[in-house]
Amino acid sequence: MVIATVDIGGTGIKFAAMSKEGEILDKQEIATPNDLDGLLNWLKMLLSKREYQGIAMSVPGAVDRKTGTIGGISAVPYIHGFSWYDKLASYELPIHLENDANCVGLSELLAHPELENAACVVIGTGIGGAMIVNGRLHRGKHHLGGEFGYMTTLAPAEKLNNWSQLASTGNMVRYLAEKSGQTDWNGRKIYQEAEAGNTLCQEAIERMNRNLAQGLLNIQYLFDPDVISLGGSISQNKTFIEGVRSAISYFVDRYEEYSVTPEIVACTYQGEANLYGALVNWLQEEGQWPHS
């Protein structure tokens, strides 16, 4: 069995032929096309190369599983507002779509099938996430399950904001730009400068870690998952993971009410997590997930 897995992102589109067990048999990637026709033509070319048993897609936005429509807005506006089931009907294959952050969370089930309850927090320009309950994605009545970025937190000397605004990489970059007067910051540069002794960068990182720790503790005590995995490109920075763990330990050590320290890990599949998660979603929706 071979599944065509697709990861639609704002800057790039990935396509992989994957076995049911998660082996990547072939993978292609292009810059995100300028229009829908460009994307569909590329998919048509790849889908013609072998026989597939299904199409699994990771997409930005809220997915209506009944209609195959992607709601909301994203960096790829032309994928929204129509049924992908209808658009790809000519292939006569079962098609399943899922939100990209949810796919990152689902990918952890492939890496760790023993997980029963897990949270995934994807950190980038904002914060997204996913909740796995009893080995299945928890979407919620309004498809807001795992939208951790909407949590409100109160940080000292700052107005009330949601977690996504306070604790994301995007917020750290904006903070550095405001404080330094420079606009060429990104997460990688901030960590490099901090390691070289830049105290402003060190302050920005500590601020982000503190805000992240508050939200992660909220998740732990609201949901009590087996593990909380962190996704997004920044999660592959070991210094980042260690900093978040240290910030959590500070709160746990300081407040005796915290009797449990969350287990914080980086997402397993890094840049390919969306593809693996799309595969898991397809298998679960088709009743072929072996760990159900």
Query: Model confidence over 195-207: pLDDT tens digits?
Result: 999 999 999 999 9
- Which among 112, 115, 105 has a CA at the least distance from the CA of 135? 115
Q: Angle 169-180/199-223 helices, nearest 10 degrees?
A: 150
Query: Model confidence over 149-208: pLDDT tens digits?
Result: 988 876 544 565 689 888 999 999 999 999 999 999 999 999 999 999 999 999 999 999
Average pLDDT over residues 93-103: 97
Query: Model confidence over 33-46: pLDDT tens digits?
Result: 999 999 999 999 99
SS3 of 57, please?
strand
Cβ distance 268 to 231 under 8 Å?
A: no
How far apart are the C-alpha atoms of 253 and 261, rounded to whole Å?
A: 9
Q: What is the pTM of this model?
A: 0.91
Query: What mean pLDDT is reported for the chain?
Result: 93
Query: Model confidence over 5-60: pLDDT tens digits?
Result: 999 999 999 999 999 999 999 999 999 999 999 999 999 999 999 999 999 999 99
- 176's tokens: 């550095």
Residue 73 — very low, low, confident or very high, per pLDDT cuts 50/70/90? confident
Average pLDDT over residues 256-276: 95
Sign of the CA dihedral running 92, 93, 94, 99: negative
How far apart are the C-alpha atoms of 130 and 107, rounded to whole Å?
A: 11
Average pLDDT over residues 71-94: 95
Q: What is the CA angle 292-59-22, rounded to 5?
A: 40
Residue-level pLDDT at 21: 95
Average pLDDT over residues 78-84: 97
- How far is CA 217 from its chain centroid? 19
